[in-house]
Amino acid sequence: MALNGYVFCITGELSMRREEFLSILENAGAETKSSISSKVTHLICSDTSNQKYAKAISLGIPIISELATMAILSSGGAQKKRSSEQAMGYAAEVSNKKMPPAGVGVLFDMTADSNNNNSSGNLADGETVQVPNSKGNGFYTIKNVGGTYSCSCPAWKNQKSPINARTCKRIKAFRGEQAEQQRLGSVPVTTTASKSKAGKSKAATTAAPKSGGLVQPGKCMLAQTWSDNRNASDYILSEKLDGVRAIWDGTQLLTRSGIAMDAPAYFIQGLPTNMSLDGELFAGRGVENFNLASGIIRSSNGGDKWRALAYVVFDAPSAPGGFEQRLATANNAILGHQFAKIHQHAVCRDEEHLQQELARVKEMGGEGIMMRKKNSAYKFSRSVDLLKVKFFEDDEAIVVGVEGGKGKYEGHIGKLVCRFRNGTEFLAGTGLKDADRAQSSAYWIGKVVTVQYQDLFEKTGKPRCPSIKGIRTDLDVLDFSSAIMHALLD
């Protein structure tokens, strides 16, 4: 039968009577359990605030929705089951305390009328929720950041308009047509007619405002790691800042993943409207200042708190010429700005000069050195023309669980269960403050964090001496969970 080998546990509300749903599962060959154990293959969940959810996460059991369960059933059970080492389920996509009730969000039926004006699909700031694709074999993620709604679907990503002027049929279906019109406000959405192959006209909606091609939303130049066989004198060096990456597209500041930041008007007033800028929102050196900057940017209404930040610019992607020319152009564009300034650079004379600068930055509590190839072009990808020289390695990981503390931390969080993009799982507790440890597991699970470490163990790939550096708000959780989701849905 379609669900032979599947063992389900259910928590939260369903769109049908529980007895009826259990009967459907059992008639299809599945087993059902009233409690979570290692024998359970999937938790069907609409409420992440209870113990079943927490235990499923700790055991690595995938969390799926009622709708996803029906999709597995309709596909004949074709979706692969996986071990706790292969996937953590859909739960990482939901970073708030409670999923929406049946019929909304992860349980939302995309076959519903998208013109429904009575939808109650509003997300809190920073909240994400999944909606199924039209084929019923996968999901897209809708996210609200500072009132700007984004969707991971291609239709939303491929639009050329500013981030805050975009929408798609999934956001409209989730929030309601009227709510979306009110959100977009004065941003007009134009409809044009195009001819299909059959000669019939069909509507194509695109948001009118354009970014002018100044940036590629969700893309920026990323660094590779410095190697000693390179000629240091071919590069221009600068201190590696420990801040939050921010891209100026001529109208707004965007995160590295292309989401609009809720920067106050006074902070961005006077930035150039005819060119893009690339830089870091920086509060100073050290973990405390990184967390300060990250917290301000995470706030939906940071207000005067943004005055503690500087927008330190180190490139101008849309400006003509090589790196040196672009930097000079950016300097002229922001000269005298209250909050924006050009990052200091110097031509690297040789390897000895690089090591001297590295020692100087380390003494000041900095993070390392960035090396930019002379006269290099800006690339919207990872490039050998931009290299990092660091004292320690660091990488991002997603929190998939927690371990209880001992001794003075008994009753609080002791360590976070983290997972790198490649699936390597490890524990990290160093770097957590008392306030961090006092948070609930629901607060941490699904968060993306930066982990600093010495190196990786050769056999296991786990980090040596990992330390939690802070929460990353500028990266999309999908970056970490898409491969895991494919393991469930392929």
Name 340's bridge partners. Answer: 311
d(CA 341, CA 330): 9
From the number of C-beta atoms within 10 Å of its C-beta (0-12, 13-18, 19+), residue 84 rates as middle
What are the tokens at 366? 């900095």
Inter-CA distances, 13 with 31, 51, 100, 111, 360, Å: 19, 15, 10, 20, 58
What are the tokens at 486? 């494919």
| Ordered DSSP codes for 344-394 | P-EE--SHHHHHHHHHHHHHTT--EEEEEETTPPP-SSEEEEEEEEESSEE
What are the tokens at 140? 């897209």
Measuring CA to CA, which residue among 180, 61, 130 is closest to residue 476?
A: 130
d(CA 269, CA 317): 20
- Local structure of 177: helix, strand or coil: helix
Q: Is the sign of the CA dihedral 238, 240, 243, 247 positive or negative?
A: positive
- The C-alpha torsion from 221 through 223 and 396 to 267, rounded to 10°, is -50
Taking CA 146 as the corner, what is the angle to CA 286 and CA 264, rounded to the nearest 5 degrees? 70
Q: Tell me which DSSP letter residue 170 carries.
A: H
Amino acid identity of residue 323, one-letter, is F
Cα Rg of the chain (Å, integer): 24
Q: Which entry of 143, 240, 390, 415 is annotated as an active-site residue? A: 240
Region of residue 287 (phi > 0: left; psi between -120 and 50: alpha; otherwise: beta): alpha
Element (H, E) at 167: none
189-195 and 148-151 as β-strands: parallel, antiparallel, unpaired? unpaired
Phi and psi, residue 441, nearest 5°: -65, -35
For the question of residue 341 being annotated catalytic, the response is: no
Task: Give catalytic residues, as residue numbers.
Answer: 240
